[in-house]
Chain A
Amino acid sequence: MRRALRIALPVAIVVVALAVGASGSDGPRSDPERAQAIAASVRCPTCAGQSVAASDAPAAEQIRAEIDRRVAAGESDDRIKASLVAAYGEGILLNPPASGVAGLVWVLPVAALVFAAGGLAMAFRRWRTVPADLATDDDRVLGAGQEAPKRARLALGALGVVAVGLAAGVAVANASGTRHAGETASGEIRDLTDDRLQEASDLARGGDVRGALELYDGVLEDDPANVEALAERGLLLASLSEAAELPQLLPEGRSSVERALEVDPGNPRSLFYLGLIQRLEGDEGAAAETLEEALASRPPPALRQTIERFLGQAGTDDGTG
């Protein structure tokens, strides 16, 4: 009893202390902490193996600033890393990927350790059963040869060790390795934002409005503040309401564009879209006002021409402007 207690007491103290210690460790992290953690896992592209957190090289500063911006915008760690991978390649992350050939970097050491530990355990078993005095390897090999079941058991044990080693390695890789950009637990591969935006815009131009809308929705799921997706989605919804005579879609389109304007207030393209929607709603006055505002926010030349064209139409209809 006393004997049990003398071990149980320290063990209990350790367990309680660790429980207390573990509980405090994963509270919600502040933005700077999160940004710092991400920066520490991103390689500085110009400075030899250091992380961007540890470097003052200009490229590292720019990446740090980008991480800060995205953290402030509420993007998830994985998304921020994925966006950097899209621009710089997989090598920008200091944590190697969990899958593919690169994943072996996780699997091999764990498997090797388990193999070696298994081998050592088997050696200890053998040492215990075979008297040391006659234990040359030849004797043991001979002995094993005579007893086929023993050998089979040995082979089975070895097989078990190999299986456990590989399983442990894969488990560590999955727990610790970087998942490829867009790789989800279900294994679904999702395209990166920019690709999806491009595809959506191509689809829309080709007339597949619903397909485009689906892609924009997907983008917004990952990045609810994506201005381009919000604005384009709004315009598409509005045009769909017009073409398919589904008037209930128009307010939703409008709110999507308005959300885009909340994120980036002076964006001439979003303003232009808002104007178009207002016109669809029949509020020509507000539309003209919005289009003027779009013109005043210095749109690029091509967009300016388009807006002016629409404004011209509005002008002739209304006789204003």
Chain B
Amino acid sequence: MTALLVVLGVPAGAALVLAFIANWRLAAWLNVAASAATFIAAAALFTAERPAPGHLLLVDDFNIYLIALTAFVALTTAIFSASYIAHEIQRQRLTSRLLRFYHAMYQAFIGSMLMALSADNLGLMWVAVEAATLSTALMVSLYRTPAAIEAAWKYFILCGVGIALALFGTMLMYLAAQPALGEGMAAVTWSTLLAHAANFDPALLNVAFVFLLVGYGTKVGLAPLHAWLPDAHAEGPTPISAVLSGLLLNVALYAVLRFKMLLAANPQALAPGPLMIGMGLLSLSLSALMLYRRRDIKRLFAYSSIEHMGIAAFAFGMGGPLANFAGLLHMTMHSLVKAAIFFTVGHIAQVKGSQRIADITGLTTSHPALGWSLVAGVVAIAGLPPFGVFTSEFLVVSSTFARQPALALPVAVGLLVCFGALLLRLHHLAFGPSSPNAAGSHAVPTLSLVPIWLHLALALVAGIYLPAPLVAWFQSVARLLG
């Protein structure tokens, strides 16, 4: 219990402290230190005694790995952010006043995501997801350019409506639970809801799930509710793009999956699978086509995030131990690889002084470390072996082929089309004659490359060899998901 309180308390405390620290260098390192403390506490959760269910907080096999993953990516992003913002200050795109705000919001955002993951209460989870939306909307508009304000406004309106629909769904879920659990807190507590889901009113449960899927699905970035995602990724600071893609989308998907577990536990409720399969396939096909026309490097990878969330939603929609296993693995691999890509892209945009793909060529000759990191990252995200994304995508396609061959075809086509688009762009970005650097461009400090290599190394190891205890544990969670 103590470890969990530290996990939630450190970001909250750090957000308060960082709001008052005017020196941005000090603030950046405090940000790293706070994130490191959170990560250590999150790692300690694996050995710590778990809180008794029925209170506000919950740690179980499912959320513990997402808590650890979130704390880990938050730590590496904080390290990357320290060097990223130093350069932004130098280029005078940010001021120290804005950075004070940025660091406080960064910790508030991480804290609210961890809260959403560990909440045992529907209301608490909803509040945490809303807080995460608010803090990121503020950070997306950090550069104060017209484009950034437009992106933040769109993000805010769309996710605001989404989150309001999710609240309506939460109320319907409470009503659905009343026949079994009566009034009061028991009917909004996960652990009791799951235990009694079989006796819920199935009709209300169905409609509640539709509202929740649309509401939280907006935040997952599932098509056709994805319109905010590319703008928010492209116009905000790059560390925020990394945590949006790598973490926030996972948290929203986690919320949807929790509700899906309730439906799965009720024999009379509608099967949630087809809805998720439909949205997943739509996201995959749409982003596959959109990837070809991107001219902005951050937008390119934002669409790739829609693609991968679509694949994960599809896998969970298929259900069953193998597809769920693939979905969980895919969420993890996507977080690691996509965050690494955004770290790389952040440095690239800084050395080239532009996010336009047309302005960036020949990276492997002009900046070998960055260029080859990008090559490795794109190869990984495109789903080539030996990286972990290949394993999870292969599992998704093969498990689908075994059960619904007709559905495996659009998935395979979508994956191939995305693969083609990414490699086409990669060839332009990484090879050929190198484009001129931005005036005053600097050498990228090695320390800030460490997070990239660490993420890619983890994805590589997962693609070659998954330790047996990890597999067993992923499988137990997959069974839990139904």
Q: Does A associate with B in a complex?
A: no
